[in-house]
Amino acid sequence: MIKPRYIAGQAVAYTAFALMIAYFASNPVYRNHDPAKALLKLSLTHAGQKVGECKERSAEELAKLPPNMRAKTSCGRERNAVTLEMDIDGVKVFAQTAKPAGLSGDGRSRFYDSREISAGKHVITARMRDGNDPNVFDQVAEVTVELAPRQVFVVDFDEENGKFEFK
C-alpha cells in the first residue's frame, strides 16, 4: 500500500522540479548583443578561380592514355585561395585568406564574422580576391547604410551575378 507521505513527498519534488524549469526557461535573461548596437554579419562561401589554365593534349599524349581517359583537354582541379577584406568607415575590421576546401583544393572557401557596431550611418566596403593576380581585388563593393539599434545587417556574395549583396 502506498503511504500518503510518499505521495506528498513526490508532489513536493515534482513541484520543485517544475518551478526550477520554469525559472531557468525565462531567467536569467540572455542577450545576443548589446541592444543599443547593431550587428554586422559577414557570411559567405566562394570558389576561387582555377589555378592553371587548361591545356590541349597532343595525339601522342592521348595514345598513351587508357581509352576511358582520352579527353582532349586537361584541366587541373585546384583553385586559388580567396582573400576577403571588409572596412567600416575606412577602418579595416576583417582581413582573412581562406584555402579552398577538399582533398584536391577544389572546393569553396568559407568566411564568417559577426561583430557589434554602433547604430547610425556607416560606410561598409567589401573586397575579395579570388584570381591569380595577388595585387588585384577582383570584386569591390561599397555601401552607405543607416543602422538602427538591434538591426542585423548581412554581407554576402551572389555567385550568379558575381557581386556582393548587402541586406
Could you give the C-alpha distances from 108 to 54, 111, 129, 158, in angstroms and in order?
20, 10, 13, 14
pLDDT digits (tens, 9 = 90+) for 27-68: 877 777 889 999 999 999 999 998 888 889 888 988 889 989
pLDDT in tens, 95-134: 999 999 999 899 999 999 999 999 999 999 999 999 888 8
**β-sheet with 109-118: strand ranges across:** 109-118, 37-46, 152-158, 163-166
Residue 160 carries which side chain, given as an amino acid letter? E
Between 3 and 101, residue with greater pLDDT:
101
Topology of domain 37-50+80-166, CATH: Immunoglobulin-like (2.60.40)
Give the separation between CA 85 and CA 154, rounded to whole angstroms. 15
Strands 37-46 and 152-158: parallel
User: For residue 53, what pLDDT is reported?
Assistant: 83
Rounded to whole angstroms, how far apart are CA atoms 62 and 73? 10
What per-residue string of b and e applies to 34-52 under the rule 16 or more CB within 10 Å gives b?
eeebbbbebebbbbbebee
CA pair distance 29, 79, nearest whole angstrom: 46
What was the pLDDT predicted at 52?
Answer: 80
Domain ranges within the chain, ordered by starting residue: 37-50+80-166
In this predicted structure, what is the pLDDT of residue 133? 87
Using 50, 70 and 90 to split pLDDT, how confident is the model at 144? very high
pLDDT at 88 over 80: yes
Task: Specify the 3-state DSSP secondary structure of 94.
Answer: strand
Phi first, then psi: what are they for 133, rounded to 5°? Answer: -90, 115
Q: Is a pLDDT exceeding 90 seen at residue 141? A: yes
Mean pLDDT of 74-99: 94
Q: What is the DSSP letter of 57?
A: P
Cα–Cα distance measured from residue 4 to residue 158, given in angstroms and rounded to the nearest whole number? 68
Matching residue, cell 562561401: 45
- pTM of the predicted model, to two decimals? 0.75
Average model confidence (pLDDT) across the chain: 92
**148 neighbors 38 (Cβ within 8 angstroms):** yes
